[in-house]
Structure 1
């Protein structure tokens, strides 16, 4: 038992460093909405060996510095996990390291999950953190080597829903108070995203975790991002696999169509195979997404 406990401590320490250049707290003092400061976040590994985290109460950005000599675009990465956990390995750290090697200032966002036991106004807690991250990076752009006119957000699965929420709800009157500074992302990258909360399109686990078991129609509509697109929504790269058995590909198709109707530039890519949750797994038939995204980013 003592050996197992020691191993868990070692794994936790290893997962919390994850090779980032540094960690940047989102808030000074107790984050808005926290009911307690005593909860310890929990790091474990999934069945596939990826690092996952739950019980986050101290949100932060993990910075992967490109070491560029000139200000570079910033990309904030929101790992997925159905708003129940966050997949920090193949949908976070690995992606950030790759983007930093391409010359982008990459940040993995460790955001708070919508847990009513831990937070007031739990539904808007993840969005509050995402908008705060955008505003903070833009405010501190010179210190971070960031081009303040090119601060984007990227998300996988439910993290894609969070990124799309930030792309459309950046003017929302948040119940815990407004975010200080410009929180509108300049572009978004959405990977096999949950977009809609409607019965026929949503990922039920993500919807229940975010909105509860019996959400009202107003909440469903607000967080169905295909209904929230305006000409102010930033340009998007959006990718999905046709054979995704968890999040219907129609989420991507309807969001892309809404962007086109609003005259918002969009690159929509539907791959024939890949399923769900492939992230940065090089063995996946969908790993070609990296080539498509690299090409799109060059035209920012």
Structure 2
């Protein structure tokens, strides 16, 4: 008879209970109430994070709106604001390799840029065997009770739901990582350093599981909230107009790195005129001090917000393969 450890038994019990009661499904985003015109097939599987609605809602819920910013009919560039039903959009590979990534797009904590920093990397990774979950997270300027921890609450909950449903997706629970871009890189770095910080009251049995990613990849990430280094817009929306030094430090990811932080892959362009490269340098230094395995790649050119589409013809185009090569050294993928 096979031996089943206690942890596997808990996961199996949780997953069967989850499947029995079903999952809330929020449709993919629409532009002006209409189905989007897209060059590529849209993902049609979503998982709502909170079965009874997101906690700490403001008196008037924000209204989700989608702005299509692209002028190219063959290339979408949607930005979502007012997210009140945080959720995961799922990209399933044809042949799962057992690993999964939670992807948090950027948007300066004002919006969530779902195509170039979410769906595009989701499709790319899924084509290589990874199951990808793109997170539509709540924004701190919308009045949620969790304030600057609201996106972290969604990220923690997302990690736990991915693990509770791991059998449904052919995922090994110990092989769930995180990747984030720009302000979504701050969400990723926050998750990597404060994965066990209580930022919401448990709502069901899934919250007994760990939210720690097995690895983290903050890409051209907002990291510091110190005024001289921070991305000013992200800092203002996250912390308010005049945060104290203590509040700045509490939400500067480098200050929260510990030996329990997972291995990290860092990437930045030195000519980034939006988020200073010092954000990434400080995070790497903190990892080294804490003994956390870290790999960092700096490129002379690339600017900010390049994702995949903005790398064509530049050396920085190598970054996704660099990430995969590093991830394999961590037993991922």
| Cα deviation code 1:255-280 (max 9, x no counterpart) | 11111111111110001100000011
* Aligned position for 1:82: 108
Q: 1:276 to 1:69 in 2, by over 3 A?
A: closer
Match of 2:90, SS state, is strand
- Find the counterpart in structure 1 of residue 21 from structure 2: none
Residue 186 of structure 1: SS of its match in structure 2? coil
Q: Who is 2:168 aligned against? A: 143
Instruction: State the alpha-carbon separation in 2 of the partners of residues 173 and 9 from structure 1.
Output: 36
Match of 1:30 in 2: 53
One of 29, 33, 38 as aligned partner of 1:9: 33
The 3 A distance-change label for structure 1 pair 57 and 18 is: farther
Give the paired residue count.
290
Structure 1 position 98 matched with structure 2 position 99:
no
1:297 aligns with 2:323: no
Q: CA, structure 1 residues 239+7, in 2 after alignment: closer, same or farther (shift >3 Å)?
A: closer
Give the structure 2 partner of residue 19 of structure 1: 42
- Output the CA distance in 1 between the equivalents of 2:221 and 2:116: 15
Q: What are structure 2's unaligned runs of at least 5 residues?
A: 1-29
Inter-CA distance 37–99: structure 2 relative to 1 (3 Å threshold): farther
Out of 42-51 and 194-203, give the one that drifted further.
42-51
User: What CA deviation, in whole Å up to 9, does each residue of 1:11-36 have, x standing for no partner?
Assistant: x5457x96225101111011111225
**CA displacement 1:214-237 (0-9 Å, x = unmatched):** 112221111111111100000011
| Partner Cα distance (1:47, 1:22) in 2 | 24
Contact 2:31 2:66 in 1 (8 A): no
Alignment of 1:252 onto 2:280: yes
1:101 Cα deviation from its structure 2 partner: 0.5
Q: Distance in 1 between matches of 2:244 and 2:208?
A: 29
CA RMSD in angstroms comes to 2.1
Query: Is it true that 1:68 corresponds to 2:98 in the alignment?
Result: no
Any conservation in 2 of the 1:278–1:284 contact (CA below 8 Å)? no
Per-residue deviation, 1:40: 2.8
The answer to which structure has the higher strand fraction is 1
Q: Does the 8 A contact of 2:239 with 2:247 survive in 1?
A: yes
Compare CA radii of gyration and give the structure with the larger one: 2
Q: Which runs of 5+ in 1 are unaligned?
A: 1-5
